């Protein structure tokens, strides 16, 4: 198999779209089923950028926080990971990252693939205020319970020129289970999904003009199954894009109006 940035780990897809921000040619939107494979694309984007890379702020929407930190063994594996060996990076995501799909964010922060971390979530908040990267970089971690608070938190900070936008579709569910998902999971109203992600809304206006890459995790087991996950995905797709993602005929909806 050709070891190039064009490979896709199993169960993942990506589409290259025109960039929104001036000075950037294109931006990739990657779709993964297991959320931990977002790490592959964050690593890929840093590797392709090479010179002048500045870790983008990560803005994530997720039912869970996904803030499990790497242990000493994983840190050693991260140190030894060859970022230009895309096959090895893909295997690392599959074999080594936490199988609960909650360790990819701080693994990425450890390698300085991302900068500060802002998460809109529904899980009980037990995160710490920051995390130290491989070379001592400080990554601020801020968690929010409302989109309005997320926007306020982002706009209060200066220097966020680039952003990765990350959506786990299970954010748009409600569940009484302390771990999310479960047999009693229900979807939020379609209109609520569209309102949060509206290109004309405050959150997406902030994100889109800083967007350096986007990841979408479908996580069907936490959405109440494939049908629910697909329904949420369709609303996300129709709200943000024209055409259909991974169709080869996709564009940004707000640029077409």
The per-residue pLDDT string of the chain (257 residues; one tens digit each, 9 = 90 and over) reads 578 888 999 999 999 998 887 667 899 999 999 999 999 999 999 999 877 889 999 999 999 999 999 999 999 999 999 999 999 999 999 999 999 999 999 999 999 999 999 999 998 766 667 999 999 999 999 999 999 999 999 999 999 999 999 999 999 999 988 778 888 999 999 999 999 999 999 999 999 999 999 999 999 999 999 999 999 999 999 999 999 999 989 999 987 65
Read off the pTM.
Answer: 0.95
Segments making up each domain of the chain, as ranges: 12-255
CATH architecture of 12-255: 3-Layer(aba) Sandwich (3.40)
Q: What angle, 0 to 180 degrees and rounded to 10, lies between the N-to-C axes of helices 190-197 and 226-240?
A: 40
The DSSP result for 71-97, as a single string, is: -HHHHHHHHT--TT-HHHHHHHHHHTS
DSSP 121: -
């Amino acid at each position: 198999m050709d070891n190039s940035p064009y490979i896709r780990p199993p169960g993942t897809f990506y589409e290259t779209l025109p960039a929104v921000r001036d000075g950037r040619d294109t931006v990739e939107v990657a779709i993964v089923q297991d959320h931990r494979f977002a790490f592959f694309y964050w690593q890929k984007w840093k590797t392709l950028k090479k010179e002048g890379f500045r870790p983008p702020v990560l803005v994530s929407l997720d039912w869970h926080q996904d803030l499990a930190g790497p242990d000493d063994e994983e840190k050693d594996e991260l140190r030894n990971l060859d970022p230009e060996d895309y096959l090895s990076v893909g295997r690392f995501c599959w074999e080594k990252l936490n199988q609960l799909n909650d360790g990819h964010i701080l693994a990425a922060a450890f390698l300085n693939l991302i900068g500060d971390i802002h998460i809109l979530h529904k899980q009980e908040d037990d995160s710490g205020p920051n995390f130290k990267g491989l070379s001592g970089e400080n990554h601020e971690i801020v968690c929010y319970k409302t989109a309005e608070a997320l926007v306020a938190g982002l706009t209060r900070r200066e220097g966020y020129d680039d952003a990765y936008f990350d959506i786990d579709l299970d954010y748009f569910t409600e569940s009484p289970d302390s771990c999310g998902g479960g047999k009693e999971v229900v979807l939020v109203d379609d209109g609520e999904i569209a309102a949060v992600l509206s290109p004309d809304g405050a959150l997406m206006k902030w994100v889109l003009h800083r967007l350096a890459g986007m990841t979408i995790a479908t996580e069907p087991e936490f959405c109440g199954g494939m049908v629910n996950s697909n329904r949420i995905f369709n609303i996300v797709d129709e709200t943000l894009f024209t055409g259909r993602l991974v169709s080869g005929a996709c564009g940004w909806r707000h640029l077409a109006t």
